[in-house]
Structure 1
């Protein structure tokens, strides 16, 4: 108890995760060294690091690398559920559900582990937090996500046995976050714990129904009580019997045994690894179970597939304008004058559930052709692309504040991929000797310090 209370009173170490959709770990290490950032590897995540950085003048969140999506500021222990989900995976996951996704740390971590392949359904119950989730997905270059805005307990009935893997990072009492939030236990009570546990049991049942036989479910919380952790998993086992197997996480990383429970779960106290308190369970679905009945009323789907000839025209125009090739595992759809790129793995879901946002918007059509969109640059541009202009620090500051810029390079024509320190930060358009800013409003910052 003395070790626990002492750990809870120490400041939480800052940690980050390198976004491998945008850069490599080695490239990021080189950049960090130039900034004088000190990195210490996080044992359970090969892309994760505790970081020491001088933030007296520039916070990590206002660095160019963060704004460009090269890394995500994420608490170390919260990286563990995704690592557990992909641990010892015998095959690639083509369909993954993130049941409670906002603000997007684990969603973007999953997308990176999937290498933007397949489809990642990211759900968030709070409508206001869906906007934050989308902004982080956009910043990190994720193109295989489909966003939903439902209570997490609907998926078992609406999409039974649709997913290879499910992450349920469940809403909880937050007992493990006391080092980050001094008010974390302000409204704590035994009654509140019982109410939350009841919700968690409904969510884990739904997540299990949504999982394909043979698939993997990771249940996690940032709380410490057995009632919200081991007892919720035990409820699943009692409900579905031999269809449920708890898989040990003893080999997830060195010293994992320190936090291992008898069932093979990880129950992490803050003093164990000098991080937040957390709980992680890895569960295998051995066989099919009967899902709940549901009556669906979806309404008319507002998108239609782009014709083969039109798709060829769009692909040719995109390559001619920006040197970008469309991925083979995605397909073009249209709605009014907008052109979207959906993962092909999403198509079986379209008749089963409605999504608030799918894939990426790549263009708007107009009389003279196509107006390319921001996510073409952030999600589709390859490292060897030659349609880029690298801009100065001063210009990059102006860019992230939503302003047009005047690079020192010779002016060009049409759309251009804007880069800072060789990282893609957006899509602009040459107008004389200036580049018109194409940064989406939700990514514009009022003040930039880097």
Structure 2
């Protein structure tokens, strides 16, 4: 049962718009949150996913602000996170309101360089990668080291390869990558007042004295994000909290600091019923009862002019551990890819480090040496003792149905649980093969004649998988 702190209720009543009822707000806070998913268009589309899941009892209701988002209903025994389709990255389990910030950022906007200041666990990052169709450069930052691992795992599962990961306090970007990005998303750390439908205890110990400290951090982050934005670029600021101090007042602080260089752009026409959540500034302040969702806040700001940086330009890093791969290595890798039925895209650059080969996203060279990156693009292969060893993440990102062995759903479940697959009709052993299911790559097996030896990395093996 939801725990609403009375002090929170008294405080939030002051921010609640006159046309909304406090009783409705309290009522909706106590309702279960409608489950929602986003189709991963890097691997499939809504029509194909529906054709896969509707025969299993799934029902889909479109989310108005995300063309690939759906509220869903499914049989009680189903655990969506254990579905083979989810583990293959065909969809992302994502709350509906959380899909709004990327939609607002990409409205009438096709940015080539994007910064996601606070990325983990990766719902919005992977949504933006899909909106970019894996083209251009997406820098995803996460301050928490443990959450960086979760972010990275989700990027690989969803087949994202245009991303570079960083692990910094978001306040450094304004100086290190000053006026670098076409678009910036700051989904700021916040008090989480809008998440009570997902976490019944989220507001149990709510304390108003903590809000000012959180808001101070948010103001520092939005200033840094604005400095990292190119003149003419777009910044979306969002939170999953409800009070004005963490929302409208943070944006007004930026406007006060940089004056006419900050322009608020109205989100009234973002989707058909956006006016229901519109503030006087043109922001969306989403209360749970408006769309039967989590509480959320979204603001879109444009940088109309350059603003001075606040500190001297940092020194460039002297050494960068990667270099462009030789033509000889590129041909070797291309042949190894072709043998498995993989194909890397025209956009990007093949790089080498020691005995490793990596695919860097287009445009990364402009950032080289400006700051330290945890991971850039995607690792393709290791030059091992017995030849090139193609990495699982490369298979997931660049696999094609060419030369692949098609598995049924039951076999796919066995594969994802780390088991070998017996063949009904033995055939001549044919070595390493790409396996395919539900329109997407699963990984690699070794064809041994009477069975397929599982090649799934041990850290990805699941105890339970549902078809």
TM-score by length of structure 1 reads 0.95
Matches within 5 A, 1:23-422: 23-56=44-77, 58-89=78-109, 92-293=110-311, 294-296=313-315, 298=317, 300-319=319-338, 321-382=339-400, 385-408=401-424, 410=427, 412-422=429-439
Aligned-partner Cα distance in 2 for 1:315–1:399: 26
After superposition, the C-alpha distances for 1:17-67 in whole angstroms (9 at most, x for unaligned) are 0000000111112112222200000000000000000132x3011111101
In 2, the alpha carbon distance for the partners of 1:151 and 1:70 equals: 31
Q: Quick one: distance in 1 between partners of 2:333 and 2:121?
A: 33
Q: 2 CA distance for matches of 1:291 and 1:6?
A: 47
Confirm or deny: 8 A CA contact 2:316 2:371 kept in the other structure: no
Spell out, residue by residue over 1:76-133, the C-alpha distance to the aligned partner (whole angstroms, 9 max, x if none): 00000000001111xx211111110000100100000000001111111000011110
Q: State the 1:297 CA deviation.
A: 6.5
Instruction: Judge conservation of contact 1:99–1:122 (CA < 8 Å) in 2.
Output: yes
Aligned to 2:42: 21
- Counterpart contact for 1:430–1:436, Cα < 8 Å: yes
- Cα deviation 1:415-445 (Å, max 9, x = unaligned): 2111223332222333443333332344221
SS at match of 1:238: helix
Residue 4 of structure 2 corresponds to: none
* Aligned-pair CA distance for 1:313: 2.9
Asked if structure 1 preserves the Cα contact closer than 8 Å seen for 2:316 and 2:369, the reply is no
Contact 1:411 1:434 in 2 (8 A): no
**SS of 1:54's equivalent?**
coil
Which residue of the other structure, out of 391, 409, 426, is the alignment partner of 2:443? 426
1:45 partner SS: coil
Extract unaligned runs of 5+ from structure 1: none
- Count of aligned positions: 444
Farther-moved stretch of structure 1 (390-399 vs 74-83)? 390-399
The Cα shift of 1:334 comes to 1.3
- Contact residue 435 and residue 443 of structure 2 kept, 8 A: yes
Residue by residue, what CA displacement relative to the aligned partner does 1:166-205 show, whole Å, maximum 9, x if unpaired? 0000000000011110111133212111000000000000
1:439 aligned partner = 456
For 1:291 and 1:54, the matched residues in 2 are separated by: 54
Cα distance change on mapping 1:364 and 1:431 into 2, 3 Å: farther
Q: Residues 229 and 399 of structure 1: is their aligned pair in 2 closer, same or farther, counting only changes over 3 Å?
A: same
Paired residue secondary structure (1:46): coil
In the alignment, structure 2 segments of 5+ residues that lack a partner are 1-21
Secondary structure of 1:344 counterpart: coil
**Deviations 1:221-274, CA, capped at 9 Å, x for gaps:** 000000000000000001111110000000000110000001100000000000
Contact residue 417 and residue 427 of structure 1 kept, 8 A: yes
CA distance in 2, matches of 1:442, 1:348: 34
